[in-house]
Amino acid sequence: MEKQARAWWNQATQMVKEAKGQTDRFTAMLEQLAIRDTNISIPAIWALQQAGPIAIPVLLDGLQHTHTTVRRNCVDIIDHGGYGGDARCSEALLPLLRDRIPHIRRAVWHTLFCERCRDESKCEIGLSVELDQVALLIAIGVNDPNLKLRRQRVADLCQQMADPRVRPALEQILLAETDSEILAVTQRALKL
């Protein structure tokens, strides 16, 4: 497997060299993200990661792709490439917090708010305003239709008790939520 991974990495490196200055090549790589053959999709993923900021416009297009696998791979490439702090990426990722696919929503939350994954040095256009995680959790996260994601987002919100908006939001969750795990986490955070 290690030998295969090295071969894919080398193939990706070659793909990037051949694509420099030719955005249609990056667009072709984007379409390869949907192919189930790992000999095609993995080198395309790694090439888009290696390409750097030049690939961001193609990745942004991919976030709106009709194919779920393409959208998810673009989210992951933005994350693993360190571009979560690029204003263009953050702006394009926000609507995906409401994507119909739960694993895409989960990946977007991570990409937007994981400090470890962001590499500000790779971001050509930095964020002019820091994203308000608490506001997004209250407006979107704690109402996620997927129970597992909703549990994660409520737990995330409970970690933000220093913010004055959190207590009233958690009190509302106590009134409306029926899931026993969410109720228990909320009660612990509120010290009830």
The answer on 34 and 116 residing in a single domain is yes
Let me know if residue 127 belongs to a domain.
Answer: no
The answer on 101 and 148 residing in a single domain is no
Instruction: Give dist(CA 117, CA 79) in Å, integer.
Output: 6
Domain count, the chain: 2
The answer on 139 and 102 residing in a single domain is no
Let me know if residue 26 belongs to a domain.
Answer: yes
Instruction: Give dist(CA 55, CA 20) in Å, integer.
Output: 10
The answer on 90 and 7 residing in a single domain is yes
pLDDT at 192: 77
Instruction: Give dist(CA 163, CA 35) in Å, integer.
Output: 44
The answer on 30 and 64 residing in a single domain is yes
The answer on 162 and 72 residing in a single domain is no
The answer on 67 and 27 residing in a single domain is yes
pLDDT at 191: 92
Q: pLDDT tens-digit profile of 99-148? A: 999 999 999 999 998 866 666 666 667 766 688 999 999 999 999 999 99
Domain CATH for 173:
1.25.10
Let me know if residue 102 belongs to a domain.
Answer: yes
pLDDT at 83: 81
The rounded percent of the chain whose pLDDT value lies above 70 is 93
Let me know if residue 28 belongs to a domain.
Answer: yes
Let me know if residue 128 belongs to a domain.
Answer: no
Name the one residue in this structure whose structure tokens are 């996620």. 144
pLDDT at 129: 63
Give the pLDDT mean for 12-38. Answer: 92
pLDDT band, very low/low/confident/very high, at 84 (cuts 50, 70, 90): confident
Closest CA to 7 of 43, 49, 61: 43
What beta strand segments (E) does 67-106 contain? none
The answer on 95 and 161 residing in a single domain is no
Instruction: Give dist(CA 79, CA 76) in Å, integer.
Output: 5
The answer on 103 and 20 residing in a single domain is yes
The answer on 91 and 17 residing in a single domain is yes
Does the pTM of the predicted model rise above 0.85?
yes
Closest CA to 179 of 136, 146, 156, 138: 146
pLDDT at 35: 96
Give the residue numbers spanning the domain of 162.
133-190
Closest CA to 151 of 189, 94, 95: 189
DSSP per-residue codes, 48-103? HHHTGGGGHHHHHHHTT-SSHHHHHHHHHHHHHTTGGGBHHHHHHHGGGGG-SSHH
In sequence order, what are the residues at sequence separation of 6 or more whose Cβ sits closer than 8 angstroms to the Cβ of residue 133? 112, 113, 156, 160
